[in-house]
Amino acid sequence: MFKTVIVEKLVYGGYGLCRSDEGIMFVPGTLPGEHVRILPEKKKQGFTTANIHEIIKQSPQRRTPQCKWAGICGGCDWMHIRYEAQLELKKEIFLDCIKRIGRIKDNLKPRIYNSPEMNYRIRAQIKSNKMGQTGFFKKGTNQVVPIDNCLLLSQRLNELLRCKKVSQFVKSNQISSLKVIEGEQVIASDPLLPGITEKSTIIKIGKKNFKIHGDSFFQSNRFLLEKLGLWAKPYVGGKTCVDLYGGTGFFSVMLSSNFKLGVLIESVSDQVESACANFHNNGINHFSAINLCAEKTGQIVKSSPDLLIVDPPRPGLTRKVREFISQLKPKQLLYISCNSSTQARDTGFFVNRAGYNIKETALFDLYPNTHHLETVILFEK
């Protein structure tokens, strides 16, 4: 049964929050202030999602998407929003999470770092089907949408997407997912495409060089990498630094000159190997990398560091890690997150229970034309 509702605001995940006689509904593809006719779809985890049937009153911030696959491919879910409005909406979503979930009363004013809207991605997961067609999943499914030009990908990754040799290889080897990352000279991939890609590549960020494997996690926006890595540099420093969920060493390398000693903790052994190589290749002899899960950090870190860096996966910090950090009492805590809701939950713990204050905040728009955002909070005791 169709319902006519007004979109109050956008919330984490990019959904429009609407109220109806059946309660709150979350509608993707909408903008604040729009009047829409919707069809409630399904109820999960206590809330109802709905699809747009008709836009009765349109927001002035709505635009016609440039991509012909918009609304079909599951990637660019904000291509219909003017870019200036995207930035403002992401800031509002971040602050709403901090206040509502974290119960933080501070009037935060995060610095916003924007990005060119297109061709910013140097990392992607290319999907393929049994016919060898390459592209990305259709929204909400595992069905591959054949795409020969993604507006978000760099030129070289788009060339790979169109390459007939790639299509033939994935078809003959029944490869359903291909991880790729572009470096200075070559593209690395997992699995390897013989004669087309390499197992690893070098990414240059300012004066730093990073050796990255095809399956390694690395930030994907080429325009904001240096700004993200150096953002905290004016605010942090001292004798010791501990980098939890340190990956291939991105933040450790970028901030290493501010400390006399540092240790990176990472649970994935291949990434630890890459971090060690990145320390060595950049002449960083005072940082080391250890293969260990974050929950066991207390086995090697016994005293309070000057800075603790955390860049956890989407679920955020586990209760055990939060409690460990509270007991460790680092002088400063740098928290990088791609999930404002779990970051807000952890922020509430550190401010309301562990005795920290928020010193600085920033929002990096690493993923223009999508609802995804990257936020950084610097806490101090």
Residues of the chain under the 50 pLDDT cut: none
What pLDDT shows up at residue 140?
82
- Say which CATH architecture domain 3-62 belongs to: Beta Barrel (2.40)
- pLDDT, residue 210, reads 97
Report the alpha-carbon distance of residue 176 to residue 198 in Å, rounded. Answer: 19
Q: Domain extents for the chain?
A: 3-62, 84-116+223-380, 123-213
Q: Where are the beta strands (DSSP E) in the chain?
A: 3-11, 15-20, 23-27, 35-44, 47-57, 111-113, 123-128, 134-137, 144-146, 177-182, 187-190, 200-205, 208-213, 238-244, 259-266, 287-291, 307-310, 332-337, 357-364, 374-380
pTM: 0.94
Please provide the CATH number assigned to the domain covering 84-116+223-380.
3.40.50.150
- What is d(CA 365, CA 301) in angstroms, rounded to the nearest whole number? 33
* Residue 47: per-residue pLDDT: 78
